[in-house]
Structure 1
Amino acid sequence: MHHAFKLGDAEHNVALSRSATAYRLHLGGQTLDVDLKTGADGRAWLTVGDRHVEVVIATRGDEVFVHLDGEAYALRYQHPLDRLAAAAAGNAEDRILAPMPGSVVSVAVKAGEAVTKGQVLLVMESMKMETTITAPRDGVIAEIAYEKGQTFDRDALLLSLEPMEKSA
């Protein structure tokens, strides 16, 4: 079965199939055995190919938050019809939404400031993990909805962008 996942700014098209003992992840020309098990002590272990590591995983709807090797990752499944609708609208990246509930640790930009794709916009904290929110594209900050210390829910509008030409 084919799926699209968004990890940070990168979208990954993958396929999953079953093997006798686990799943197989088909990514590009590679096929990797993958398995996720929870031990009796409640700890989770992820096996990808020959690598076996402890992970902390939290889910909410189509989002999976993974803490692995000292790094936090937000992974979001996107239904193919939703992807097509966002592409047709052309402004899906204008609204930067909270990937999970949390609070603002720091804001690195100001309204009216030009930003480039990948530039740090703000840092948020959720479940004692910090997540850096970066610009999904070049643009100008139209609005910053939250200040340092304020809390928000999942999918809350954190910042919005407008095209560069509007600011000239």
Structure 2
Amino acid sequence: MALKLKLEDGVHEVEIVGRRPHLTVRIDGRLHTIADLGPAGDGSGTVTLDGADLAFERIARAGACLVRIDGRTITVDVVDPFDEGGGAGGGRDEILAPMPGAVVHVHRSAGDEVARGEAVLTIESMKLQTTLVAPRDGVLVAVLKGEGDTFEKDEVIARLAPVEGDQ
């Protein structure tokens, strides 16, 4: 699953594709190798990016990270996937399967009111359990899979509608 980072020039999709022998990431579709990142947290150091050594300084500030590299200071924010659709509830009406698997537990039923981030289903894929949560406040109009049911990647697992009066 890709992480989205917001920088001054826009939002960039970052996905970790390998960890050994060095960290390999795909940033906006291009592969990069990162080595010698150093310890996490505030401070300065040197990072090796695609074979080039770059000195940096970083500091965490109120949900963001300030990074000074190559003479420029960049603010980096992580994009909350719940907020991507815009508005207070994120705007998404469907809960999609992030990978193929099976439903292990159904936490909520059709007709239930749910809050953003509330557990709807727990799934299992490759022996890893993941809880799928409501992407926004709403009412579950359909839970399309039950315990033991299998599904494919990106299959719709549940659907939401706005809470009556919130439209």
**Which residue in the other structure is 2:72 paired with?**
none
**Which residue in the other structure is 1:13 paired with?**
6
Would the aligned equivalents of 2:117 and 2:135 in 1 still touch at CA under 8 Å? yes
Would the aligned equivalents of 1:144 and 1:160 in 2 still touch at CA under 8 Å? yes
Question: How many Å separate the matches in 2 of 1:48 and 1:119?
Answer: 35
> What displacement does 1:141 show?
0.2
- Go from structure 1 to structure 2 and tell me whether the alpha carbon gap of 1:38 and 1:130 turns closer, same or farther (over 3 Å shift): same
- Where in structure 1 are there 5+ consecutive unaligned residues? 7-11, 16-25, 27-33, 40-45, 52-77
> What displacement does 1:166 show?
6.6
**Which residue in the other structure is 1:49 paired with?**
38
Q: Which amino acid aligns with 2:6?
A: N
Question: How many Å separate the matches in 1 of 2:36 and 2:103?
Answer: 33
Taking structure 1 as the reference length, the TM-score comes to 0.50
> What displacement does 1:50 show?
1.7
Q: Which amino acid aligns with 2:20?
A: T
- Go from structure 1 to structure 2 and tell me whether the alpha carbon gap of 1:163 and 1:129 turns closer, same or farther (over 3 Å shift): same
Question: How many Å separate the matches in 1 of 2:37 and 2:132?
Answer: 27
- Where in structure 2 are there 5+ consecutive unaligned residues? 22-34, 41-78
| Percent identity between the two aligned chains | 40
Q: Residue by residue, what CA displacement relative to the aligned partner does 1:128-153 show, whole Å, maximum 9, x if unpaired?
A: 10111111110000101100001000
**Which residue in the other structure is 1:98 paired with?**
97
**Count of residue correspondences:** 102
**Which residue in the other structure is 2:20 paired with?**
38
Taking structure 2 as the reference length, the TM-score comes to 0.51
Q: Residue by residue, what CA displacement relative to the aligned partner does 1:66-88 show, whole Å, maximum 9, x if unpaired?
A: xxxxxxxxxxxx9xxxx7xx65x
Runs of 4+ that moved beyond 6 A: none
**Which residue in the other structure is 2:124 paired with?**
125
* Aligned positions of 1:51-130 closer than 5 A: 93-130=92-129
C-alpha RMSD over aligned residues: 3.5
